[in-house]
Structure 1
């Protein structure tokens, strides 16, 4: 495997486009393209590329050793999550199945967490279920079984109690590049008043959504995705909020991308 193959493999392992990787490293997208095509055979940015892709820099530069260093438990943990989760979700798959699969994968993988992680707080997941009264609709409820194990220190620093938080698995690319498909966020259910620009978990007519919110005159809200090119702003008046059955569940205070 030559350098171009290793860079391409590392980038795909990190689920980055050439443009995204170039932006993270601080170089032009054409530089990544030339490395991957073999037109450029060396670069002074290989260490940075390895760091951004989460791979062993020696392996990336020379091909020696393993792609992931055994001395980096966090990288191995991320790789384990990647192997368990990536590829399970298809863009057109029903959200229920995608979310359930991700939760099951995260639960199954928790034993591979780094030894210095104190995963003690059990945070319940929000999930969509088919409405028993209307098969064409879904309802948002707290799962009785699916939980995210989160370090207690995270909650303590935020000043929130475990009984006032919920976890949500992100599906789709509307919040990229901040939250990618497969990310998990945790929200504080005691914070439902909109602070402009903050991120919130919503129940939008039985669909779970994670969006940045802004207040509008008269009690309305602007709903913003970070991927504005594909998901433009949505605005709702107070009456439209009620009609669309939009409910603010809580403010997001923690998030993580597992692959």
Structure 2
């Protein structure tokens, strides 16, 4: 994860817009925008940015350590409990009950923990659009309007960057019961080398398909559906792939209905 990714993650963790963060730090909004886009690779305001976002400055600057320092977790925890202690309660039993309830809420609210499991990234969907050159055909494009909010921990564990990730809505029953109609999968666009048995997103002549792939001698592929009764295997040589405009777009690493 590079500096631009960490700044964006920290800002979202704090619930701030770029303008709000810039105002807190005392710099222009364009400075934050350039940092998050990677156009600017360093800044003398990184410590101030970390303080404004409430994250570990060492993590923000270098990527080392946890996003939220242990002492910050303790501060959050202590301040919440002190507020309850200052409140009015009928008796000790009521106070203890209030403390137990709040402790449980804090444990489950992972935004207070270094795991950052409530942080999300906007992942764009792949969609089929009418071909401007031939209305009878479609082309596969990345949507600029529709996105999936995906947990950043999923991306981190897979070692992928959000800019190389897309979501795909499942249509039909060809991959049932593993993938159900209406479900969603997420794929990494930089992984197009076929590993036998893994699932991939495919642009098949302007149609989005999700299939398990197997290599064939000579560079061809075999597409496998899990619902083999209705959807038998399909095989394509390299030449047939070119003629059918088959393009492997990326490996599926997450799905709403099966992982």
2:211 aligned counterpart, secondary structure: strand
Are the aligned partners of 2:202 and 2:210 in contact in 1 as well (CA < 8 Å)?
yes
Q: Which has the larger radius of gyration?
A: 2
Q: Greater relative contact order: 1 or 2 (C-alpha under 8 angstroms, separation 6 or more)? A: 1
1:210 aligned counterpart, secondary structure: strand
Q: Spell out, residue by residue over 1:213-248, the C-alpha distance to the aligned partner (whole angstroms, 9 max, x if none).
A: 000000100000000000000000000000000000
Could you say which residue in structure 2 is the equivalent of 1:156? 156
Unaligned runs of 5+ in 2: 1-107, 111-116
Are the aligned partners of 2:118 and 2:151 in contact in 1 as well (CA < 8 Å)?
yes
Q: Is 2:174 the counterpart of 1:183?
A: no
TM-score scaled by structure 1?
A: 0.54
What is the Cα deviation at residue 146 of structure 1? 0.7
Could you say which residue in structure 1 is the equivalent of 2:16? none
TM-score scaled by structure 2?
A: 0.54
Q: Is 2:228 the counterpart of 1:245?
A: no
What is the Cα deviation at residue 120 of structure 1? 1.5
Q: Distance in 1 between matches of 2:130 and 2:190?
A: 26
CA change 1:115–1:144 in 2 (3 A) is farther
Q: How does 1:102-181 map to 2 (within 5 A)?
A: 118-181=118-181
Are the aligned partners of 1:182 and 1:257 in contact in 2 as well (CA < 8 Å)?
no
Are the aligned partners of 1:119 and 1:149 in contact in 2 as well (CA < 8 Å)?
no
CA change 1:122–1:245 in 2 (3 A) is same
What is the Cα deviation at residue 115 of structure 1? 7.1
Q: Spell out, residue by residue over 1:41-91, the C-alpha distance to the aligned partner (whole angstroms, 9 max, x if none).
A: xxxxxxxxxxxxxxxxxxxxxxxxxxxxxxxxxxxxxxxxxxxxxxxxxxx
What is the Cα deviation at residue 257 of structure 1? 2.8
2:200 aligned counterpart, secondary structure: strand
Are the aligned partners of 2:178 and 2:257 in contact in 1 as well (CA < 8 Å)?
no
Q: How does 1:56-71 map to 2 (within 5 A)?
A: none
What is the Cα deviation at residue 157 of structure 1? 0.4
Unaligned runs of 5+ in 1: 1-113
CA change 1:178–1:115 in 2 (3 A) is farther
Could you say which residue in structure 2 is the equivalent of 1:223? 223
Q: Distance in 1 between matches of 2:145 and 2:220?
A: 35
Q: Distance in 2 between matches of 1:227 and 1:185?
A: 17
Are the aligned partners of 1:125 and 1:142 in contact in 2 as well (CA < 8 Å)?
yes
